[in-house]
A and B are shown apart, each in its own frame.
Chain A
Amino acid sequence: MTNHPLEQAKFILQELPCGCAILDVSGSLTYANPALCQLLGSSEPAIRGKSIEAILTIASRIFYQTHFFPLLNLKGEVSEIFMSLKTANGAHIPVMVNAKMSVENEETVYICVFAPVWERQKYEEQLLAARKAQQKAIEENEVLNKLKAQLEVNQYQLDRKISILRERNNEYLQMSKVFMHDMQEPVRKISLFFDALFGNDQPPATPDDQRKINIIRKSIQRLRHMTKSLLDFVQINASDEKINFLDSSLIHQAKEEVTKDLPEVNIDIQITDLPPFEGRQSQIRRVFVELIKNALQNTHDERPLSIKVAAVVIQENVYQHQLDKYRYTDHVQIEIRDNGSGFDGQYNSYVFGLFNKIDARSGGAGLGLALCRQIISNHYGTIKAQSELGKGTCITIVLPIRQLAE
C-alpha cells in the first residue's frame, strides 16, 4: 500500500465496507464499487450504464421516483432511506441509503452509499409490528368511543327531527289539500256567476268595461291554473309509487306527453344512453316533462329547439347534510342542454323557487322547476341550472343509481 493520498483514496473506495455508486442526472450508474457489485452478485461492466432502477425492487423503484429522487433533488442530500436492492439472481437485500448531489467536471452527479441492514431490519420489523398493533388498538378504541358518542347524539337529533318533520309534513299536506279544495270552490263560483253576468250573449257596455271584464276573466283562469298546479305540487310528495330501474325511454315518453297536443311542434331531442338508475317512474318522467316544457316555452326566436341529453356515471358523496361524513357511491349525472333563449346566469338558483319566474309574461305558473327540485330531492339527488342569455340552458341532475342504502 502506498502513502500517496490519491492512491490511498482509490484504495479506500475499492475496499469500502459498503456499496457505493455514482449516478448521472438521468439516474444511470456511472460507477459501482466492488462491494456493491459483490452485493448484487454482478460485475462493474455489467452494471455500468444501467439505470439505478435496474438494481432496485419494484416497490423501491416507486419509492425512488415518488420520494427519494424529488427529495434528493430539492435538498441536495438524503440520508437513512430504507430501500431494497435486487440482485442478479432476483434476491432482495434490505439496505440503508445515503445520497448527496455533487458536481463533477461541471456535471451534476448523485453519490449514493448502500449499507445492508439485515440485522437492523429484523429489529425494525419487530418494532414496527409492535407499534402497529399498539396503534391499531388505540385507534380502534378511540374510533369506537368517538363513534359511540357521535351515534348517541345523532340518534337523539335524528329522532327529534323525524318527529318534527313527520308532524310538519302531515300538517302541510292536510293544510294544502284543505286550502286548495276550499279555494277551488269560491274560484269556481266566481267564475260561474261571472259568466252568468257577463257571458258572451251580453253585449259589452263600453270598450273600457270590456277591457275590465277581460282582465277579470284572465285572472280567474290564472287562479284556477295556480291552484291546480299547487295541488299537483303537494300531491306528488304524498304518492307512494314503487321504485324501479329507469332508462332513457322515459325521456321519449316525456317528449310524447309534451307534444301530443301540439302537432305543429317539432322538438329535436338527442339522447345518449342513460345508465339504468332507480327512481319512481312517473315522478322522474314528470321532471323530464317539465324540463322539455320549459325549453319549449323558452325557444330562441331564430332557431328551432334542439335538446341534447347526455349522462355519465360519477361517484358522489351520499351524505349531503352531515358534515365530515363521506361515502362515495355511483351516481348518474344527467345533462339536459337546450339551445333556447337562456337567461342571465345570476338567476341560476332563483328559477327553482316556488312561483319564481324570470319573465312575468311567460305562460307557466313558475312551478315547473320547483316541482323538479322537489322530485329530485325526494330521490336524494341534486339539480342545478346553468344558463347563458341568448345561448341556452343546461340543467344538471345528479341522482344516486340505487335509492336504498346498499
Chain B
Amino acid sequence: MEWVNAILQGALLGGLYALFAAGLSLIFGVMRLVNIAHGDLIVLGAYLGLSVTLVLGVHPLVALVLVVPAMAVIGYVLQRCILNQTLGKDILPPLLVTFGLSVIIQNALLETYTADPQKISAGALETASLSVGGLSFGVLPVMTFVIAVAVIAGLQWVFYRTALGRAFRATSDNQEIAQLMGLNRRHIFGLAMALALAVTAIAGILLGIRTSFDPSIGGGRLIFGFEAVIIGGLGNLWGTLVGGIILGVAQTVGAKIDPGWQLLAGHLVFLLILAIRPSGLFPRIKE
C-alpha cells in the first residue's frame, strides 16, 4: 500500500512537471526553439503570483487572472524583440541568447526579491486532503494534475481545431510557404511564445503554492520540463504528460528507497529511456 501510495503521489507530481514541460514542447513544436530561460520564466511567474497575492490580498488562483495575461505579454514581446532574431539554421544563437536571458531574469529576481525562500500562501487549499480507499490525496496535487490535463487538452484543441493552431502547424511545416499564404511568421511565433508563457504562469503559481522557491531554482525546473519532453517524445503534448508522470513516479519511488535518491532516480530513469529510446516514447517530430 505504501508503494501504491508513492506511485500515485508521483503521478500527481508528474502533472506539475507536465505543466513545466508543456510550454517547452509547444514552442519546440512550432519553431524548433529550445528556451534555456524557461525554468527562470516559471520562477518569474511564481514571483508575479506572489506579488499579486500580497499587493491585492487575493487568493493565488484569482491572481492567475492577472499573471497569465502578464506572462503572455512578456512572451510576445520577448519573441518579437529578441528571440525572433535568433531563429535560423544555427542552433547557437537561440541557445546562447536564452542562456543570457536566464542569467538576467535570475539576477533581476534576486535584486528585487532577495535570495530568501518565499512561498505563496493559499490558505486551506494547502493542507486540504481527500481520502479514497485508505489512501489520502492532497487536494492541491489532485487539482494540479487536473489543471495539467486541462491545459494540455486545451493546447491540443488550439493546435488541431482552431485557425491559430492551423497557422502554428503551417509555419512549423514550412515557414516560406506559410509566409506566401499571408501568415506573418514573426507574429505567429510571438503568439506561440505568448501561449507558452501563459502556461508557464499557471505552472509557476502552482509551484509557488506547493513548495517554497527562490530565484536560483529555475535551472532545476527547466531540467524536469526538458526530461518530461524527451521521455514523452519531442513535440507530442500528451506524450509530455506521460513523460511528466514517469518522472514524478521515478522521483517519489526513488525518495522512498532513500531520501537522497529522489532527484537522482528521476535523472537515471531519464537517461535509461534516452539509452533505450532516444527519440522518446511517442515521438511526433523527427529531430
Are A and B bound to each other? Answer: no
A residues whose Cβ falls under 8 Å from a Cβ of B: none
